Amino acid sequence: METLLLIVSILLIVIVLLQSNKSTDGGQIITGGNDELFKNQKERGSELVISRITLGLGIAFFVLSLILYLA
């Protein structure tokens, strides 16, 4: 079980590093330079796939950690 948690942890780290960098848009909140920051933008293509994989791995990490803690 610990091996599975380790694999999920490594995959989660890798998939988070593959996500697009949106932190540069956050810095423009103070200066007001980005008008499209709070617009409803849908993820498409590879961004959507990476987001769903991240969500699944995050849930798996949480569940595995909880199982190992309670066992």
For the chain, give every domain's residue range: 1-17+44-71
Residue by residue, DSSP assigns 12-56 as HHHHHHHS---HHHHTHHHHT--TTTTS-----THHHHHHHHHHH
- Could you count the other beta carbons within 10 Å of the beta carbon of residue 18? 11
* Mean confidence (pLDDT) of the chain: 81
Residue 19 has pLDDT above 70, yes or no: yes
Q: In whole angstroms, what is the distance from residue 26 CA to residue 52 CA?
A: 22
CA–CA separation, 7 vs 60, rounded Å?
Answer: 11
24 or 66, which is more confident? 66
Average pLDDT over residues 46-60: 92
70 secondary structure, DSSP code: H
